[in-house]
Amino acid sequence: MASSGVRDTRRRGRQRRDMCAAVLFTLLLCVLRCAGGDKPSNIVVILTDDQDVELGGMTPMKKARSLIGDAGAYFTNAFTVAPLCCPSRSSILTGRYPHNHGVRNNSLTGNCSSPAWQKGPESLAFPVYLNKQLYQTFYGGKYLNQYGKKEAGEVSYIPPGWDQWHALVGDSKYYNYSLSVNGKEEQHGDHYDQDYLTDLIANRSLEFLDKLSPQRPFFIMLSPPAAHSPWTAAPEYEGAFNDTTAPRDGSFNKPGKDKHWLLRQPLNPMSPSSIKFLDDAFRKRWQTLLSVDDLVEKVVKKLMDLQVLNNTYIFYTSDHGYHTGQFSLPIGKRHLYECDIRVPLMVRGPGIKPNQTLQAPVLNIDLAPTFLDIAGFNLSTVNMDGQSFLHHMAPSLRNGTTRPYFLVEHTGEGHSDSDPACPKLGPGLSHCFPDCICEDAFNNTYACVRMLTDKNLQYCEFADSESFVEVYNLTSDPHQMENILKKVDPTLLQAMNQRLIKLQSCEGSTCWDKKY
């Protein structure tokens, strides 16, 4: 008894000391920040799902382009390092390549929201550091494909660093979903006014903004389901773009000649039913994006009303691109071609002059370091593979260099028995629809080095039984029609192979080391 009483007294003493320290710390910060008025800037991030930039994915975003891109910078060379949802989102959160965060696909066994991910990489993701910088943080919408599932800790699991958490359980949906609202399950049906997910996360972010403490900066991340399947438009947009079809660009409905095994399988020319399917999908994708355009308008208007717009950075991007009919693949992502790896990226904020078009290559792994840079965090104390790109958009605030090349990694998904959409095809394949055309396979596993500054080249190696290699000259062949492997200078080929090998095991600053 006595000893426990002593312990209690000690604990109370310690609590009082901790409290005093906390008060002093807050006061000190206020002296440093409130007085100087140099509270770090606020940050809002809009992360869409499956939105391409190559096939006109930004066309429906009239308001977003005017309120973010025209008021700031458009990046014309923004890329994902992994053209699949869960690996890409994990890269955005950690600032790391898949070979360093270990998330390989959209399943728990591939580390999507897995216990190993939660214990390791997620505990070093950017929100943890923002929280240390006293940001008030909010997440709304789709997180990682397996989030909230039983084996991923159910809805009660909230990743570290988030103060307000309104995350979707599982993959993108517009209606009939569950959310984790700060660890409690909230079920939603299909009433537009109450449940439409894009509108709901917009509304929740406005409520969060209304309740903010003005002394501390905020960070908001909004991740709507658009433009992912099932492509459910808001009622008012169901008739939009009704005469729009997918663009018939250079590689549309063309055979995957001289390409790796999976690309040599699709029927060419495509069947009329596949073409109808992809045109419908294309139109519906744009319809769902109109609600994201409204979300952007609502959030910007609220920031204006609160008189904080001039001290807020707004980022707009997507987890990866998309294709509709390129090389006769109906719909999807997962490939090394430009449609899938390029993403939209526009940013406005302090120090960014309006109406800029920037060519510097920027990656999704650069987002986390950029947020931390804005937050005033010392970047040499975090181990991220990306680099801040604040200097590209706001040269008055930072100096920096341009990265000459980068890595793209994909681990192909398959079924060990057979794809339920097309049982006759046998094992190893996945996403075989419509018309039994498969979008992915275990051996669609590849790594590419993409060069953009002095040379505009892409060099890719496949982990398949042919050790297939694809090489493209994007200057002379922007649609990647011709694999130039057999034409390219052997010395250059060898240099690209060496660079790829080094990048595949790079970590932190070695990922942008110019010596490679």
Ligand X SMILES: *[C@@H]1O[C@H](CO)[C@@H](O)[C@H](O)[C@H]1NC(C)=O
Catalytic residues: 85
Least Å distance between CB 485 and ligand X? Answer: 11
* Coil/strand/helix, residue 391: helix
Least Å distance between CB 230 and ligand X? Answer: 8
Pairing mode, strands 164-168 and 323-324: unpaired
Helices 272-305 and 197-210, packing angle to 10 deg: 10
Least Å distance between CB 294 and ligand X? Answer: 10
The residue (of 2 and 187) whose beta carbon lies closer to ligand X is 187
Least Å distance between CB 254 and ligand X? Answer: 20
User: Please, is 348 exposed, middle or buried when counting C-beta atoms within 10 Å of its C-beta (0-12, 13-18, 19+)?
Assistant: buried
HEC letters along 67-135: HHHCCCEEECCEECCCCCHHHHHHHHHHCCCHHHHCCCCCCHHHCCCCHHHHHCHHHHCHHHHHHHCCC
- Between CA 301 and CA 307 the distance in angstroms is 10
Backbone phi, psi, residue 156, to 5°: -70, -15
328, 352, 326: which is closest to 339 by C-alpha? 326
Pairing mode, strands 73-75 and 345-348: antiparallel
The residue (of 14 and 429) whose beta carbon lies closer to ligand X is 429
- Between CA 202 and CA 322 the distance in angstroms is 24
- Between CA 142 and CA 238 the distance in angstroms is 22
Least Å distance between CB 415 and ligand X? Answer: 7
Do 468 and 261 form a contact (C-beta atoms < 8 A)? yes
The residue (of 4 and 378) whose beta carbon lies closer to ligand X is 378
Pairing mode, strands 457-462 and 446-451: antiparallel
The residue (of 235 and 427) whose beta carbon lies closer to ligand X is 427
- Between CA 129 and CA 368 the distance in angstroms is 10
- Between CA 127 and CA 142 the distance in angstroms is 16
User: In the bound complex, which residue of the shown chain has the CB atom lying closest to ligand X?
Assistant: 428
The residue (of 4 and 416) whose beta carbon lies closer to ligand X is 416
Do 279 and 241 form a contact (C-beta atoms < 8 A)? no
- Give the DSSP letter of residue 365: G
Least Å distance between CB 257 and ligand X? Answer: 16
The residue (of 254 and 398) whose beta carbon lies closer to ligand X is 398
Q: How many residues does the chain have?
A: 516
Q: What residue type is assigned to position 57 of the chain?
A: G
- Between CA 73 and CA 396 the distance in angstroms is 14
The residue (of 56 and 350) whose beta carbon lies closer to ligand X is 350
Contact residues: ligand X, CB under 6 A? 70-71, 102, 104-105, 107, 109-111, 116, 120-121, 175-176, 190, 193-196, 199-200, 203, 239, 242-243, 261, 307, 310-311, 354-355, 378, 380-381, 397-399, 413-414, 427-429, 441, 443, 457, 464-466, 473, 475-476, 488
The residue (of 15 and 357) whose beta carbon lies closer to ligand X is 357
Least Å distance between CB 178 and ligand X? Answer: 12
- Between CA 269 and CA 254 the distance in angstroms is 7
The residue (of 156 and 310) whose beta carbon lies closer to ligand X is 310
Do 516 and 504 form a contact (C-beta atoms < 8 A)? no
* Coil/strand/helix, residue 21: helix
The residue (of 110 and 148) whose beta carbon lies closer to ligand X is 110
Least Å distance between CB 136 and ligand X? Answer: 19
Least Å distance between CB 492 and ligand X? Answer: 6
User: Please, is 38 exposed, middle or buried when counting C-beta atoms within 10 Å of its C-beta (0-12, 13-18, 19+)?
Assistant: exposed
Do 144 and 167 form a contact (C-beta atoms < 8 A)? no
